Chains A and B, each alone.
Chain A
C-alpha cells in the first residue's frame, strides 16, 4: 500500500495544495477541451441534441472507477483511506432535484461555470454569482432544517455494500451501462441533429 500519498504521510499539506492547483488545471483544461465550458452544449443534454455531458461524465467516471479498482486490487492504493462521500437519502434526493432544475435553467454546473467564466462567457460569470448567492441563502436558513439535512443517514456506504453485490460485478455493470449509454447517445445525436 503506497497510496494515497497524503493520507500515508508521503506528502505535506503544502504539497497537497500545490497538487490541488495542478490537478485543477488539468480538470479545467479537459472540461474546456470537451466543450463543457459552453452552456448551450451542456443544455443540449436535456433536449437530447448534444449528449457531450453524458459522454464526458460517464467516461470520466468509468476511467477513475476502473483505475481505482485495479490500483487497489494490485495493492497500490488503500481504498479504505480514500474519502467516500456519506449517504443521506432524503436530503440528497431533494438536493438533486433542486440542482437538476437549476442545471437546465442555468445551463452550467458549478465546475463548468468556472470554465465558462474563465473563457469569457458572461452567463458563466452570472451563474457563479448566483451560486455564491444560493450557498449564502442555504447557510442563512440552515438552522431551520438542520434535522432534515442530517436525516436518513446510511453512512459511508457503496452500492456494492448496500445491495450486497460483488464490487467487481458492480464495476462491470457500470462499464457495460456506460458503453450502452454511449451507443445510445451516438444514435440519438445522429437522429436529432439531422
Chain B
C-alpha cells in the first residue's frame, strides 16, 4: 500500500486528535471542581433568615459555577415562564407549590414576578419544612436589572460604580447589555420587557 504525503499528515492529525480525545475521556470535566460551601442554615421558623435573601449577582454566579445541588424555581405562571426565565430555572407556579412540594436535598432558590409572590413561595416551602431556601428579593425583575441590563447612572457614587463593575463581569456571561450614563431622573427607565428585547443583541449575535 502506498502512502502519499497527505495521507501521512492525516494519520498524524487523526492520532493527535484521538490521543487528546482519549485523554479528555480520562480527564473528565474541564470545569474546576467547585468546593461545597457551608451554606448558611435558614432558621427553622416560617421567617426566612436575613441571609436567605440574595441578589441576582449571587444567583448568577451560582448558575455560572454550576453550584452542586442548586435548584432554581420560577413561581410565575407557565406563560410568563415560557416568555422568559432565568437560565436553568424550572417552573412550579405558586398555586402548585404546596402540592408539588420540593426535595429537601440541595438548595432551592425561589423567585416570582415580584416580592410578594416570591415571599409567599418562601413561606410555603418553609411550612413544608424545606431546608436551604434562598430567594431573589424583588423577584425576576432583579435579574433583569442586575444581570440583563446593568445600569450605571450619571455621576455614580463610588458604591454604585463598584456594584456596576461586579454586575458587568457576570452580565457578560449571561449575554446582558450594560447601559451607562443614564440620567438619574429616568429611574430604571424601561420595563422588564424592553430590557429583555435589548438582550436579543447577544442572543442572536452569531
Contacts and interface: CB of A to CB of B under 8 A. Distances in A.
A79 interface: yes
B30 interface: yes
Interface stretch (A37-45, A101-109, A147-155): A147-155
B172 A7 contact: yes
**Interface size class of chain B, counting residues whose CB lies under 8 Å from the partner chain:** 35 or more
A169 B28 CA distance: 7
Interface stretch (B13-21, B129-137, B152-160): B13-21
Contact of B26 (A80, A160, A168, A178): A168
B21 A182 contact: no
B17 A168 contact: no
Interface string A148-175: 0011010111001100001111011011
Contacts of B202: 83
Given A7-B172, A73-B27, A176 B84 contact: no
A84 to B, nearest CB: 9
B25 interface: yes
A70 interface: yes
Contact of A66 (B17, B28, B64, B88): B17
A117 interface: no
B24 A172 contact: yes
Q: Is the interface of A mostly helix, strand, loop or mixed?
A: helix
Interface string A113-151: 000000000000000000000000000000000010011
Contacts of A176: 18, 21
B85 interface: yes
Contacts of B87: 86, 153, 155-157
B31 A66 contact: no
Interface string B1-39: 000000000100110011011111111111110000000
A179 B17 contact: yes
Contacts of B10: 182
A182 B21 CA distance: 16
A175 B18 contact: yes
B164 to A, nearest CB: 15
A80 B28 contact: no
Interface residues of A, number: 38
B29 A172 contact: no
Contacts of A83: 172-173, 175, 202
Nearest to B15: A179
Given A80-B64, A153-B85, A166 B17 contact: no
A50 to B, nearest CB: 16
A85 B31 CA distance: 17
B25 A66 contact: no
A20 to B, nearest CB: 12
B65 interface: yes
A86 B87 CA distance: 9
Contacts of B13: 59
Contacts of B14: 179, 182
B20 A167 contact: no
A81 B31 CA distance: 11
A178 B17 contact: yes
Given A70-B23, A86-B203, A171-B24, 8 more contacts: A69-B27, A69-B30, A73-B30, A83-B173, A85-B206, A167-B29, A167-B30, A176-B18
26 contacts: A63-B17, A66-B20, A66-B24, A69-B27, A70-B20, A73-B27, A79-B31, A80-B31, A80-B173, A83-B173, A83-B202, A86-B203, A147-B83, A153-B82, A155-B87, A155-B89, A156-B87, A156-B174, A166-B28, A167-B29, A167-B31, A168-B28, A171-B25, A172-B22, A174-B21, A176-B18
